[in-house]
Structure 1
Amino acid sequence: MLANHFKVARRTLLRHQSYTLINVLGLALGMGCGILIFQFVTYHLGFDRFHADTDRVYRVVSHLHEETIQYRGSVPTPLGKAFRQDYAFADQVARVVVFDYDQVVSLPAARENNKFKEPDGVAYAEPEFLQLFYFPLVAGDPKTALREPNTGLITQRLAGKYFGKANPVGRTMLLNNSINVRITGVLKDFPPNTDFRQEIYVSYPTMKEQQSYLASDESWGAFYGGSSCFVRLKPGVSEARVEKAFPGLSRKYYNAKEAKGSQFHLQPLADVHFNPAYGGYVSKNQLLALALIGVFLVITACVNFINLATAQALRRAKEIGVRKALGSRRAQLFWQFITETALITSLALVLALALAHLALPFVNQLLETRLTLNLLENYPLVAFLVILATSVIFISGAYPGLVLAGFEPIRALKGKVSQQQVGGFSLRRSLVITQFALCQVLVIGTLVVTGQMRYSSQSDMGFVKEAIVMLPAPLGESPKLNALVTRITGVAGVEKVSLCWDAPASPDNYFNTGIRYAAREEEKFDIRYQMADPNYLSTFGLTLVAGRNLAPSDTVREYLLNETAVKKLRVASNDEVLGKKAVINGKEGTIVGVIKDYHNDSFRAAIAPQCITTKLDNYLNCAVKIAPGALNATLPALEQIWKGTFPRHVYGYEFLDQRLAKFYKQDNLILQLIQFFAGVAILIGCLGLYGLVSFMAAQRTKEIGVRKVLGASVPQILWLFGKEFTQLLGIAFLVAAPVGWWAMRKYLEDYAYKIELGPAIFLLAIAITFLIALLTVGYRSLKAALTNPVQSLRSE
């Protein structure tokens, strides 16, 4: 019996090739997207889940209470030592400080290629790091590998890159031409789904020598974004118990006001990757939304199948009548259609896997993932495919199968199957409304995210960001920096040059510290700390609103504050702070000027208090403002000068606008995902419309013939179909508009500066979907309208 079902199913599908092709394509698109989304979601849910006792591992995070609460995944570096000494809650405590900007690694000159640039930066870690996390060594002793100063670890990949097949243990590498690091071990290459991206780990005592203030056990006011502290609680110690102890720790190391403003909490390791408040890569809500989109796309493809199958049922009415007259039972006819659905689903699944495999390289590049489709090793994926195929077969096949099996033999043989028997419009109308409501929600999302990205990138940030090239200022080379500036200033096409820690706004390097105003010594608030020379203001177009610029000196400590910082000091005017003393980053200096506010973060955050001071040995960048039209001629000259000044370093540069684009990297990924899935959803929805119009055309063939005989024009026939779908799209818009408004309002809540959700966005969304749907309906309707009425009325 089963063999007969497959034989008949194969003949039926070959006989109706266009029907088969549309169904296979629609299901393949929906299932292919479902496969990719499943892989993406499971990939992220597996982040750092391979460590032992992950349920007991936490990261200590900071809540800074001012007007609002600032959530930070970083803590002052002394906290790790204090937690280890003051409490017996944890069996392991590890401090890790990450500098995620380019690092230049130099090897002994005997090697031909002895300089390498590592874009993922370097991490300074305590020895406990290797005890707390499962990052095994393939060479070296994990108990001693990070214990001594000037020692470190590299991954297998870097070991092969630097030393080939030779044993790297005991070899020395020079980091940024300033730090000699003896390699004491080789780390097994990290799995792709970990938030620890660095491949160079240097002992924490080394940082104490190189970054004395940041690594000092007294620097409780220094909040560097890359400073983390991880703890593994002892069995039986609860998170709540530790949380209750943290206020006591704050009171011990801060004064009363500071202790109230600086609070520490535990964040589970399983939450680190998913909590955007602390810098997490992706939220679980985003993954849930993506999973729901995947489910919707699969269900939409199934709906299209149902629409096309019920439309096709009219053509198969006589076939079913003959089968029932010859003794076929209802159950046999039902399982016959399920068999046909299974064949179509199997073909669609094969095509879906092929499409997913072809799309995988682009997806990995876009999303910076390492997804694979290895069915021999990925058992969860195999289980998902089985569940997916089974669900699609029964969702798609059950309803049409019951409809076909329920035909009355006599009516079917006479060709008088009613619309109600095949299935009224109400269900299919509801499904089409649901399809296009979500399509419009996705289109609304695309328009809003696009608008916000355009607003963020094109709005005035309060400083010049165009035609500025950021050159690296190598660590340990501060005596040569002034000479570099002098040489670059003499290049034709160069307008301004400034040495600085970083640009006025940067997603990578920022440093927050405390400020105490001399007039109110007991008060302290958080401030962004920027180190730059006096040319900084003119290079970036910053405006001085009171006082004077910084003096070109490292020996006299002077500060510039922005208007927001002055407001936080609660003074009557900008002039009142001039000449006053302030302690910032632990160093007392004189406030000599006030600069106009500029955006020192992305548009998500309100403008923060900012100070600027000079510090030659802390400059990491050389900002070069180039005249319009001189870029191509100037870049080679900059490269030649830089290489001549720092022959031992690896040259590189970055345009400031490219660096600022990193602020919205995640948003751009979301935008591209929404655009892609909106396109797929609209395509699948149009296939569904095509199926529904086919159903209507088959049902109303004679009606159309009569209308044409009585003088109806082609536009009137087109409106006969278009009116129906105009109503459906209108209802879909009424559903989509409030949902899209709510979802996008939640999205825009993350931005302090944002676009308005005006009616134009929603009108444009319905216009786009209406136009695409109109083209789909119009094509099939035109085909029906141009049919010769003689053909449709022949039996009459």
Structure 2
Amino acid sequence: MIRNYVTTALRALKRNWNYTFINVIGLTFGLACCLLVFMAIRHELSYDRHNANADRTYRLVAHYQNGTSDGFDTGIPLPALAALRIDFPDLKHDLTLIHEIGDVVIRTGGSAANKFKEGRGLVAFVEPEYFRLFDYGWKSGNALSALQNPNTVVLSERMAKKYFGNTDPIGKIVRLENRQDFTVTGVVQNPPATSSVPFEVLLSFASLKQYGAFTDWDDWQSTYSGAQLYLTLPKASASQATVAAQMEQKLAGFAKKHLRPEDAKNLRYELQPLTDIHFHTRTGNYANRSISKETIWAMGLIGLFILITACVNFINLATAQAIRRAKEVGVRKVLGSSRGQLARQFLGETGLLTAIAIVLALGVAYAALPNVAELLDIQADALTLVDPVVIGFLVALGFFTTILAGFYPSLVLSGYQPVLALKGRLRVAGSKYLTLRRSLIVVQFAISQMLIIGTIIAYSQMQHFRSADLGFNKEAVVTIPIPERKPGQLENLRAKLAGLPSIQSLSYGISAPSSNGNWTASFRFENADKNEDYGVVMRPADTSYVRTYGLILVAGRMFVPADTMREFVVNESLAKRLGFAQPQQILGKMIALGGPNSVKKPIVGVVKDFNTFSLHRKTAPCLMSTKLDTYNTLGIKLASQQGSPEAISALLSTVQKAWEATFPDFVFQYEFLDKTLDDFYKNEERLFGLFRLLAGIAIFIGCLGLYGVVAFMVESRTKEVGIRKALGASTTHIFGIFSNEFIKLVGIALVIASPIAWYVMSEWLKDFEYKISIEWWMFALAGLVAVIIALITVSFQSIRAALMDPVKSLRTE
């Protein structure tokens, strides 16, 4: 029996080869998309799950709220670590503070080949307790003792091989920033790609004071976002959420005890589950990669939509060719076939098509895997098709697709009455099957138009990122990190570079105007007896900073050259926040940074607002002054007439030689400022790329189905076309007959898709402080694109029918 079903199915599929081809291609791409989306979602949802106590581990986050702002800070004051251990002795060994350092040079020998520049998310000072909270597989050394002593370091296998090749690294020396040596006491397995705490160079926390932390050990007001505190709560009979809520209540008392009243009033310590850190785009993580759960579920929904689009093709084509198979059904029923047997036969045909599509989908997914991994910023080796869960999902997906695509057509085809089928009295035109096909085409185009609208809005937002007025000039500016230096080195480097004709201006500062890494300080204004309830973003820089980055001075003057803070320049936001309607009014006023004993200094200038962060966040109140020991970045403004690639390459080579002569123990790196700013929006670029890809696939699959439906319509109306031609109908008129109906369906789909797309994209845009407005033309453009695509798809078959000789058309049976 099964053999007979298979043989019959193969004959039917071969006989209707064009229908088979369209369905297999559509199902192949639909299944491949679903498979790749499933793998990506599974990868994202597995972040930090490898830790044994992941469900009980939390990150301590400071939530600041006052009347005008609401923000989060992952940085915890350094003295909080000891204070927490005193106030919560039961957690003494289940909490730890991680102090990340990035953009550092590690040396393992005297030659240039033994210098390694390590970026963010790789190097950190940690305690032995770190290994109680985060799971590492140990190859050498011991978790309890490896970092017990100062000047010790644990390396991952990858870093050990990078620094020392195939030799045993235990006992070897690594030198950090050419100022402190560490002895290798352990080697651990590489952290998985799904870790939000992915450190591979783990330095003993006992050495941090000697190295120098980014904030003071007794300062409760200053924080550094790379100094984060994690804790594991004990197991309890109550739910974990309840235990965490109880701990947060205790932390409220902890804040009141240790913080100043004005600070504790606006701050609340919250526990952020380790397994949720990856999904919080506002707070970020050490891996510098996050994705919202809304985006993940949107990916899954789009994958499902694409599969539905492919299944709609199958249903449309199956019902469209129902008349062609009516006599076959009639003969089988006369010969004794039951409706159940016929339904199983047609479901078997669907299953066979799906099986073929699954095999092809595996090939498509395998070929596309590297590109998808690059698009979603996932390590290529983190996604694999050779996985029992992936294979199981594919089998389940194949079964689901067979039922979804094959159930209704099998019900329709097996339900024909044999007498009517054999007499040829079955009609499709005007029947419920035609209504169903129209409805399904509307569903297809609604899905496609939702994706088109999403793509247009995402593209417009990305263009806004690229073209928005940031308050400074990002073009033709190169930024170069400045390492730890000795007195006079910055001046020597400036002297070597200042005379180069290709350099218009250069400046030292803590960072570029827009930066993800920020120093926020508390301050007192004029004669206030306490600090303001908000901080200012600090941008220490030399007097060339304004000219190099194109900032605009709207009142007063720049501060005088100095090595320490003597005068302040503020931005417009700070002036307005302090109650001054005109920038000139704040000139001459006094500000004191830090505690009550700090010295007041005058405000001498006001600059036009510039974006201190990415466009996700509002421009913050900002304060600028000189402070030589904070200058970590050299900004170089290139002369516009020297902008050719060859000239820039030659200039950078000259700059590198001068830099290496000044800092021979460090590694030279540079980045163009516009590229740095583009990196702020990696998540949005990924989403935009995903929209484009999935929208294109959905449109392609929809066009395949539409092409097949039109082909069957043309075939079933061949004589009608011949009669119309014989009576004088033009080619345009015939084309209009077939195209007008589909234009109406596209219009209905646009009406359905528009409010859904508007709601979804409005929610997405809420993540941005500076965003575009969703305008009517975006929906009109999506509708126009869909109409053009539909007309192009319909035109192949309709024009061919219109050009056919009417004599041949009238002879067609």
Q: TM-score, normalised by structure 2?
A: 0.93
1:352 aligns with 2:353: no
Equivalent residue number for residue 98 of structure 1: 100
- Contact 1:478-1:616 within 8 A present in 2 as well: no
Equivalent residue number for residue 592 of structure 1: 603
Pairwise mapping of residues 280-429 of structure 1 onto structure 2 (< 5 A)?
A: 281-370=290-379, 374-376=384-386, 378-419=387-428, 424-429=433-438
Pairwise mapping of residues 597-746 of structure 1 onto structure 2 (< 5 A)?
A: 597-631=609-643, 632-633=646-647, 634-746=651-763
Equivalent residue number for residue 64 of structure 1: 64
1:6 CA displacement:
0.8
Pick aligned residue for 1:753 from 760, 764, 770: 770
CA RMSD of aligned residues (A): 2.1
Distance in 1 separating the partners of 2:308 and 2:673: 45
After superposition, the C-alpha distances for 1:176-222 in whole angstroms (9 at most, x for unaligned) are: 223322222222101111112332222223332333461x3322222
Tell me which moved more, 516-525 or 674-683.
516-525
1:265 aligns with 2:265: no
Equivalent residue number for residue 537 of structure 1: 546
Residues 374 and 3 (structure 1 numbering): CA distance in 2 closer, same or farther, change over 3 Å? farther
Distance in 2 separating the partners of 1:530 and 1:182: 36
1:81 CA displacement:
2.5
1:752 CA displacement:
2.0
- Contact 1:135-1:190 within 8 A present in 2 as well: yes
Residues 178 and 780 (structure 1 numbering): CA distance in 2 closer, same or farther, change over 3 Å? farther
- Contact 1:107-1:115 within 8 A present in 2 as well: yes
Residues 570 and 206 (structure 1 numbering): CA distance in 2 closer, same or farther, change over 3 Å? farther
Which residue identity lines up with residue 336 of structure 1 in the other structure? Answer: Q
Equivalent residue number for residue 514 of structure 1: 522
Which residue identity lines up with residue 427 of structure 2 in the other structure? Answer: S
Distance in 1 separating the partners of 2:113 and 2:135: 32
Equivalent residue number for residue 117 of structure 1: 117
Which residue identity lines up with residue 675 of structure 2 in the other structure? Answer: Q
Which residue identity lines up with residue 502 of structure 1 in the other structure? Answer: S
Residues 686 and 510 (structure 1 numbering): CA distance in 2 closer, same or farther, change over 3 Å? same
Query: Which stretches in structure 2 are left out of the alignment for 5+ residues?
Result: 237-241
- Contact 1:213-1:219 within 8 A present in 2 as well: no
Equivalent residue number for residue 191 of structure 1: 192
Distance in 2 separating the partners of 1:686 and 1:213: 58
Pick aligned residue for 2:256 from 251, 260, 270: 251
Which residue identity lines up with residue 251 of structure 2 in the other structure? Answer: F
Residues 763 and 324 (structure 1 numbering): CA distance in 2 closer, same or farther, change over 3 Å? same
Distance in 2 separating the partners of 1:4 and 1:422: 32
- Contact 1:499-1:536 within 8 A present in 2 as well: yes
Distance in 2 separating the partners of 1:585 and 1:664: 33
Residues 328 and 137 (structure 1 numbering): CA distance in 2 closer, same or farther, change over 3 Å? same
1:616 CA displacement:
2.2
Distance in 1 separating the partners of 2:252 and 2:383: 49
Equivalent residue number for residue 154 of structure 2: 153
Residues 471 and 197 (structure 1 numbering): CA distance in 2 closer, same or farther, change over 3 Å? same
After superposition, the C-alpha distances for 1:73-101 in whole angstroms (9 at most, x for unaligned) are: 3333332322222124635111112234x
- Contact 2:43-2:383 within 8 A present in 1 as well: no
Residues 324 and 248 (structure 1 numbering): CA distance in 2 closer, same or farther, change over 3 Å? same
Distance in 1 separating the partners of 2:226 and 2:536: 17
Secondary structure of the residue aligned to 2:62 is strand
- Contact 2:96-2:129 within 8 A present in 1 as well: yes
Residues 138 and 588 (structure 1 numbering): CA distance in 2 closer, same or farther, change over 3 Å? farther
After superposition, the C-alpha distances for 1:525-545 in whole angstroms (9 at most, x for unaligned) are: 122122211211111122233
Secondary structure of the residue aligned to 1:505 is coil
Which residue identity lines up with residue 328 of structure 2 in the other structure? Answer: E
Which residue identity lines up with residue 7 of structure 2 in the other structure? Answer: K
1:375 CA displacement:
4.8
1:791 CA displacement:
4.1
Secondary structure of the residue aligned to 1:180 is strand
1:775 CA displacement:
0.4
Residue identity over aligned pairs, in percent, reads 39
Secondary structure of the residue aligned to 2:322 is helix
Equivalent residue number for residue 463 of structure 2: 454
Distance in 1 separating the partners of 2:802 and 2:350: 31
Tell me which moved more, 570-579 or 238-247.
570-579
1:182 aligns with 2:183: yes
After superposition, the C-alpha distances for 1:226-255 in whole angstroms (9 at most, x for unaligned) are: 221101012238111111112212212222
Pick aligned residue for 1:498 from 507, 510, 515: 507
Which residue identity lines up with residue 36 of structure 1 in the other structure? Answer: L
Distance in 1 separating the partners of 2:368 and 2:600: 57
Distance in 2 separating the partners of 1:795 and 1:694: 15
Secondary structure of the residue aligned to 1:247 is helix
Residues 181 and 579 (structure 1 numbering): CA distance in 2 closer, same or farther, change over 3 Å? farther
Distance in 2 separating the partners of 1:741 and 1:161: 50
Tell me which moved more, 577-586 or 620-629.
577-586
- Contact 1:577-1:591 within 8 A present in 2 as well: no
- Contact 2:445-2:702 within 8 A present in 1 as well: yes
Q: TM-score, normalised by structure 1?
A: 0.95
Tell me which moved more, 561-570 or 381-390.
561-570
Equivalent residue number for residue 582 of structure 1: 591
Equivalent residue number for residue 772 of structure 1: 789
Equivalent residue number for residue 798 of structure 2: 781
- Contact 1:581-1:588 within 8 A present in 2 as well: no
Residues 344 and 421 (structure 1 numbering): CA distance in 2 closer, same or farther, change over 3 Å? farther
Count of paired positions = 791
Tell me which moved more, 437-446 or 217-226.
217-226
- Contact 1:105-1:173 within 8 A present in 2 as well: yes
Tell me which moved more, 544-553 or 754-763.
544-553
Distance in 1 separating the partners of 2:269 and 2:74: 10
Equivalent residue number for residue 531 of structure 2: 523
1:21 aligns with 2:21: yes
1:793 aligns with 2:795: no
- Contact 1:98-1:122 within 8 A present in 2 as well: yes
